[in-house]
A and B are shown apart, each in its own frame.
Chain A
Amino acid sequence: MGQGNGIIPDLQAAMRAEALRHTVIANNIANAETPGFHRRTVVFEQKLAEAIARADGEDHEAVSPEVRTASDPMNENGNNVDVEVEIGAMIRNASAYKVHMRLLSKMYHQLDTAINGI
């Protein structure tokens, strides 16, 4: 594989994390009124940045997203979901997913050009 193809697993990992985050946000919104529910977040980009800073080789591919339970201040019924915040996070996440999907599609398109010619 050439240099450029190394990015495909990274894009796939990012998209996996974003898909997971979408599910987690959807779950938060679904539980917006559930007493005692604590919102969850997905930590990925931060872990990836740390791994890249630490790594001298390829081991940042081993970074996997982590679901954390947030301990923000809670309202009366022990729930800390704020629907507006979740919608903002979902929009941001969807935008990142779209960018990564387009980049991945572009990478595959390049491979296709290399194999079949223009």
Chain B
Amino acid sequence: MSDIRIGGSPVDIAVSGLRAQSKKIGVISSNIANAFTTRGEGGQPYRRQEVLLRTSDELMGGVRIDRVAQDDASDFKRILMPGHPDADSQGYVAMPNVDVSSEMVQLTTASRAYQANAAVLKRYQEMVDLTVELLR
């Protein structure tokens, strides 16, 4: 055996993937829900959130959720709506920097990744069952 410490079992790794993707889906749904929220924290429109994933410190330890970061780089969309209570003096309303269609794409990606991790879990379970069958 080598000295390299192999981290978790496939169950732990797949579960870490499931948790990461589930967190991602949660944050994406928050972005979609707030796609038209003109007033969030500090009177500013909502800023989209992004989950940052890191590999686990352990070798083969799966993935861990580093943090949920705010997207401050992209600008708010300015839409002309003079009658809106949050409109500025020129009649423009600042809308969140959420692009619903790109969030939908990310939602699909995240749910596919979730499915993939669930498939790994299921397949591993089948493998163990196969080994147990040898104990007849």
Contacts and interface: CB of A to CB of B under 8 A. Distances in A.
Contact of A91 (B22, B125, B136): B125
B74 to A, nearest CB: 28
B19 A85 contact: yes
A103 B11 CA distance: 23
B121 A99 contact: no
Interface in B1-51: 9, 11-12, 14-15, 18-19, 22
A95 B15 contact: no
The 8 closest A-B pairs by CB, nearest first: A88-B15, A84-B18, A102-B135, A95-B128, A98-B132, A88-B11, A84-B19, A84-B15
Interface of B: 9, 11-12, 14-15, 18-19, 22, 121, 124-125, 128-129, 132, 135-136
A85 B15 contact: yes
B19 A102 contact: no
A88 B129 CA distance: 15
A108 B17 CA distance: 41
Contact of B11 (A91, A98, A99, A102): A91
Contacts of A85: 15, 19
Nearest to A95: B128
A86 to B, nearest CB: 9
A88 B14 contact: yes
Contact of A95 (B12, B19, B22, B132): B132
Given A91-B121, A91-B125, A99 B15 contact: no
Interface in A77-94: 82, 84-85, 87-88, 91-92, 94
Contacts of B19: 82, 84-85
A106 B134 CA distance: 12
A1 to B, nearest CB: 22
A102 B134 CA distance: 10
Contacts of A87: 15, 18, 121
